[in-house]
Structure 1
Amino acid sequence: MNRQELFGQILKKKSFLCVGLDTDPGKIPSHLLKGKDPIFEFNRQIIEATAEFAVAYKPNIAFYEALGPKGWESLQKTLDYIPKDIFSIADAKRGDIGNTSSLYAKAFFETMDFDSITVAPYMGVDSVKPFLEFEGKWVILLALTSNEGSMDFQMELSKEGKPLFQEVLEKSSKWGSPENLMYVVGATRGEKIAEVRRIVPDHFFLVPGVGAQGGSLEDVAKYGMNAQCGLLVNSSRGIIYAGGGINFADSAKQEASKIQLEMEVLLEKYLHK
C-alpha cells in the first residue's frame, strides 16, 4: 500500500485508527478455547467488528511466536483475513546485520506479505536498508518510545548536545523517504511529538500509548498531524479486550466506533491547519 492509498483510507473512514492484535490465549473469551484455532477466531471476529473504523491492523508478533508453529499459522490466517485495503503492520521490532535483516525482510514482506514492519535502528544503516529495498513496503522505525526504560538511552545527549532520539531521526530520515519510512512516536510523550514533527515534517508516525497507557489523542493530533494526517494511532487492549464473553466483538466495535468519532472531529479540526 502506498502513501496516497493510505491517506485515501483515512479520508474515506474519517479515521487514523490502528487496531493492535495483541491476542493472548489467557485473555480471550473461554468459549473460543474449545475451537480448533482460538487465536484466529478471536482475531477474525475483532476484524469483522472493527474494519469499518480501522485503517490499519498491527499484530504484535511476540504473541504468536510464543505459541510456536500453531501461533505462526494463526498469524498467517489473520493476515490473510485483513481486508487488502487496510494497512498491515508486523510489530516485530527486527533489526540485525545486513544479511540477517534481508532474511527478516523476506520473511515478513514476501513469505507473509505484510505491508510494513517495525524495526529497531540502533545497529545503524546496514541493519535497516535491507527492509527499505522492498518496493511498496514500509519500515516503521523506533524513534521515541513510551516505555519507562526509554529514558535509559533515548534522552541521552550526544557530544553535539542533542538527545539520541533526535540523532536517530535526523540520520535515518536520509535512509528512506516519507513514501517508505514511518516512525514510532509514543503518545505518552505528548510534549515531544511537536519536536519530532519538526525534524520529520512529512513522515507518518505510528503512535502507541493512547488509551490504556494514558496518552492524549487530542495532543497527538494537535502536535503530530500534517497535511496528509501523518498519524496511525494504535489501540490494542482498549479495543480488543473492551468486553468479554459471547459479545466481546460487539464491545470492541463500540470502542472502535467511539475512537473513530473522536478522530473524525480531530481531522476536521487539525488536518488543514
Structure 2
Amino acid sequence: MAFRERLEQAIARNQSLLCIGLDPDPERFPEGVTRDARGIVAFNRAIVAATSDLVCAYKPNLAFYLAHGAAGIEALAETRQLVPPEIPVILDAKLSDIASTSAAYAQAVFEALGFDAVTVHPYLGSEALEPFFAYADRGVFVLVRTSNPGAVELQDAPVGEAGDPLYLWLADRVREWNERYGNLGIVAGATYPVDLALIRQRCPDLPILAPGVGAQGGDLEEAVRAGISEGNGPLLVTVSRAILYASRGSDFAQAARDVARRLRDRIERVRAEMQEQATGR
C-alpha cells in the first residue's frame, strides 16, 4: 500500500491530523526513565502506547538518536517497530546529496530501517532527490518553508521571472516533480501561516507536513486554516515537545495522551467549522 493511502486511512480511522514528533531528550525524561538509549526506547514505547489512537503519523527526528551513537541508531530502529503497522512513520532527517549518496540514504531509510516517509532538502536539485522519489510506495517530504526564525534569510529571496520568494518557487517545483512520481509532499512551517496558505494555494493536492505548533510558537488554529486544502491534500500538524514533556512525573504517558487528545480535538473543531463554512450551513 502506498504511503499516501496509508496516511489517509490513518487520518480517517483516528479522525486526526496530529503527527507526534518522537524527539527524545533524556535531560527532560521523567523520573524512573534512564537517560540513555535504553531509556529512549522505554520512553517512546510509553508515548506510542498512550497516543497511537490519536494520531495520523509519528515523526522521529534522526538527530536525537544519532546523539547516542550506535546505541541511538538501535533505539531508532526499535522505535520504528514500536509503532502499530497501520500508523505511518516519517523519519525527519532532511537528507540529500549527489545521486549515488542519496541512493544509499534512501536504501538506509526505506529498506534497512523501514520508514514510510522521509524529509529531504532540495538544494542539490531534483536529480539528487530522484533516488528517494523512486520508492513509489514511500513518501518524500521536501523542505519548502521551514519553521525556524532564520528561514527568511534564504527562503524569502526573490527568484525566477516572476520574482516569487524562493519558498513559493520551490513549491511549484515540488508540484511539478510530483506529477511524474506521485509520492511527494511539502514541509511548510506552521510558524508562517500566511506563507503556508500561499503554498497550499499553489499545491492543493499535496500532503503538507507542518511543524512549529507548540514549543516553537505556531498558532494551531491559524495553521489548520492555512493548511487545509480545497483539494484533497492532507495536512499533518506536527507537535513534539508540548506533548512529550507534558509531565516529568510517573504520569508522563497519561499527561502526553491528555495533551495529544486536546490538540487532536482542537484541530477537528477547526476542520468542522471550515466544512460548515464551505457548505454554507
Alignment of 1:22-37 (within 5 A): 22-33=23-34, 37=38
Aligned residues: 273
Work out whether 1:233 is the aligned partner of 2:237.
yes
1:20-65 Cα offsets, whole Å, 9 max, x none, are: 0110111112311188811100000000011110111000000001
Work out whether 1:258 is the aligned partner of 2:262.
yes
Letter in 1 for 2:220: L
Q: Percent identity?
A: 38
The corresponding residue for 1:184 is: 187
Task: Answer whether contact 2:106 2:131 (CA < 8 A) is retained.
Answer: yes
Q: Does 1:206 align with 2:206?
A: no
Number of the residue aligned with 2:177: 175
Alignment-derived partner of residue 6 in structure 2 = 5
1:162 & 1:68 partners in 2: Cα distance? 41
Whole-angstrom distance in 1 between the partners of 2:218 and 2:112? 35
In the alignment, is the contact (CA less than 8 A) between 1:39 and 1:74 conserved in 2? Answer: yes
Query: 2: distance between equivalents of 1:176 and 1:44?
Result: 34
Give the AA of the match of 1:219: E
> Alpha carbon RMSD of aligned pairs, Å?
1.7
CA contact (8 A) 2:247 2:255 kept: yes
Contact 2:188 2:211 in 1 (8 A): yes
- Report the equivalent of 2:221: 218
Contact 2:204-2:233 within 8 A present in 1 as well: no
Q: Is the 8 A contact 2:175 2:203 kept in 1?
A: yes
Query: Could you tell me how far apart the structure 2 residues matched to 1:153 and 1:258 are?
Result: 35
Distance 1:145 1:41 in 2: 30
1:242–1:142 distance in 2 versus 1, CA, 3 Å: same
Q: Which runs of 5+ in 1 are unaligned?
A: none
* Structure 2: segments with no counterpart, 5+ residues: none
CA-CA distance at 1:3 after TM superposition: 2.0
What letter corresponds to residue 34 of structure 2 in structure 1?
A: L
Q: Which deviates further from its counterpart, 88-97 or 225-234?
A: 225-234
TM-score scaled by structure 2? 0.92
Which residues of 2 match residues 75-224 of structure 1 at below 5 A?
75-160=76-161, 161-177=163-179, 179-224=182-227
Work out the CA distance in 2 between the residues paired with 1:148 and 1:253: 29
Aligned residue for 2:248? Answer: 244
Distance of 1:120 and 1:228 partners within structure 2: 24
Would you say the 8 A contact 1:96–1:127 is kept in 2?
A: yes
- Paired residues of 2:209 and 2:236 also in contact (CA < 8 A): yes
Q: Secondary structure at the match of 2:28?
A: coil
